[in-house]
């Protein structure tokens, strides 16, 4: 009864997040010309843009509750009190809700749509043309980063162009198709995590919950629909076809496709060289080396641009394939919560102007410091217990 109530309550919480997401619809974007729907949407926007105290309070309350549920699911998974079927039921109900939610905290989805549109509608190359080159396009009324050319790999175009074609230049349909692809890739990631964990006799329920129900991954990979999800899907598929259903050629191909989405997984090239030239493979070495390299990728990307919450998923995706002790889980909760917390100052003020960047840096650095302190104290406590047994 407790598990059923927990699942139902969580789904309701996701539905509340769905409703809240529409408070952030850009004022320059009209989602419906129907008067009733337009009036309803405007009442939501009024909260997001003209009652920021309430909006930011709702946001932080939703995020806090999502982490409370996340911890509850982790405890059940850690003690193997839930089955994979239970987790999949939650995922298969919550993911469609997140797919049809508005991409409340990121405008990247609109850039994906427009990058593909440059090819499918304007017949131009997005590597050489930017949104500002088409000043009469109605999407410019609500887009951000209109002055940049296409920054991703060619494989992302191979994914996004067919989606754009299928959307027939209908904005809402095309956007939903992009989000549907993001949701499928997210579920695909969890599928491969389950299979790889099962192969190496790890707690597959814990791996699925650790990644799949982490609020950070749900919000950034499905609600905001960042293309990192497809990059990770291809990476995990590559590992699956190396370790679980061995096919080196397919594994290499999938890895190269992953690199061609966003380049980040190129940091794992030393791992793949090692995997394909060393006969005796120790899975633990592969996993921990991968975590180190993707952590380096995280640092490099933050240094090159600035901190974005979804960058935290780079090492987290591989952590899900480990034994997942408290030294992994607790810091993940702390740091990922801080990652989502950085949206709070924007929701409260309506801008990213100083001193908000400084506040964000303090939040992130404090979360890492707190994680290091936790790991150190936990190790000292464990050592003390072992010495006195």
Q: Please state the three-class secondary structure of 207-238 as a single string.
A: HHHHHHCCHHHHHHHHHCCCCHHHHHHHHHHH
Closest CA to 202 of 305, 307, 106, 283: 283
Determine whether 73 is exposed, middle or buried from the number of CB atoms within 10 Å of its CB (0-12, 13-18, 19+). buried
Check residue 266 and give its pLDDT: 97
pLDDT for 389 beyond 90? no
Distance, CA of 41 to CA of 56 (rounded, Å): 18
Report pLDDT digits (tens) over 111-170.
999 999 999 999 999 999 999 999 999 999 999 999 999 999 999 999 999 999 999 989
pLDDT of 254 > 80? The answer is: yes
Residue 315 has pLDDT above 70, yes or no: yes
pLDDT in tens, 272-296: 998 888 777 778 888 999 999 999 9
Residue 388's CB is within 10 A of a number of other CB atoms, namely 6
Question: Would you state the pLDDT for residue 105?
Answer: 97
Q: How confident is the model at residue 337 (pLDDT cuts 50, 70, 90)?
A: very high
- Cα three-residue angle 215-341-364, rounded to 5 degrees: 105
In this prediction the pTM is 0.96
Residue 284 pLDDT: 83
pLDDT digits (tens, 9 = 90+) for 159-191: 999 999 999 989 999 999 999 999 999 999 999
Q: Tell me which DSSP letter residue 27 carries.
A: T
Mean pLDDT over all residues of the chain? Answer: 94
């Amino acid at each position: 009864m407790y598990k059923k109530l927990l699942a139902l309550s969580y789904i309701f919480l996701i539905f509340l997040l769905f409703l809240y997401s529409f408070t952030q619809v850009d004022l320059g974007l009209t989602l419906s010309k129907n008067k009733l729907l337009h009036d309803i949407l405007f009442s939501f926007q009024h909260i997001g843009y003209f009652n920021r105290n309430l909006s930011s309070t709702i946001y932080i309350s939703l995020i806090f509750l999502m982490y409370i549920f996340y911890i509850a699911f982790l405890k059940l998974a850690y003690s193997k009190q839930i089955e994979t079927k239970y987790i999949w039921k939650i995922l298969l109900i919550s993911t469609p809700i997140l797919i049809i939610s508005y991409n409340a905290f990121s405008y990247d989805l609109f850039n994906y749509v427009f990058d593909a549109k440059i090819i499918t509608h304007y017949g131009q190359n997005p590597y050489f043309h930017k949104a500002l080159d088409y000043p009469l396009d109605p999407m410019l009324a609500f887009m951000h980063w209109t002055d940049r050319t296409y920054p991703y790999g060619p494989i992302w175009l191979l994914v996004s162009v067919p989606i754009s074609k299928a959307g027939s230049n209908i904005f809402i349909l095309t956007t939903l198709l992009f989000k549907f692809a993001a949701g499928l890739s997210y579920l695909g990631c969890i599928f491969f995590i389950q299979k790889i964990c099962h192969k190496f006799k790890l707690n597959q329920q814990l791996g699925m919950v650790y990644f799949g129900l982490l609020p950070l991954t749900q919000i950034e990979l499905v609600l905001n629909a960042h293309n990192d999800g497809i990059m990770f899907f291809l990476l995990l598929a590559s590992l699956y076809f190396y370790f679980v259903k061995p096919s080196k050629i397919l594994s290499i191909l999938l890895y190269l496709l992953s690199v061609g989405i966003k380049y980040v997984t190129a940091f794992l090239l030393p791992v793949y060289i090692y995997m394909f030239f060393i006969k005796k493979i120790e899975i633990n070495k592969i996993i921990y080396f991968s975590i180190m390299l993707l952590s380096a990728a995280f640092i490099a990307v933050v240094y090159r641009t600035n901190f974005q919450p979804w960058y935290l998923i780079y090492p987290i995706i591989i952590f899900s394939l480990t034994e997942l002790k408290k030294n992994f889980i607790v810091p993940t909760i702390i740091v990922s919560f801080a990652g989502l917390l950085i949206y709070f100052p924007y929701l409260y003020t309506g801008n990213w102007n100083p001193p908000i960047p400084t506040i964000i840096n303090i939040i992130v650095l404090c979360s890492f410091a707190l994680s290091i302190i936790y790991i150190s104290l936990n190790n000292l406590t464990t050592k003390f217990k072992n010495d006195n047994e």
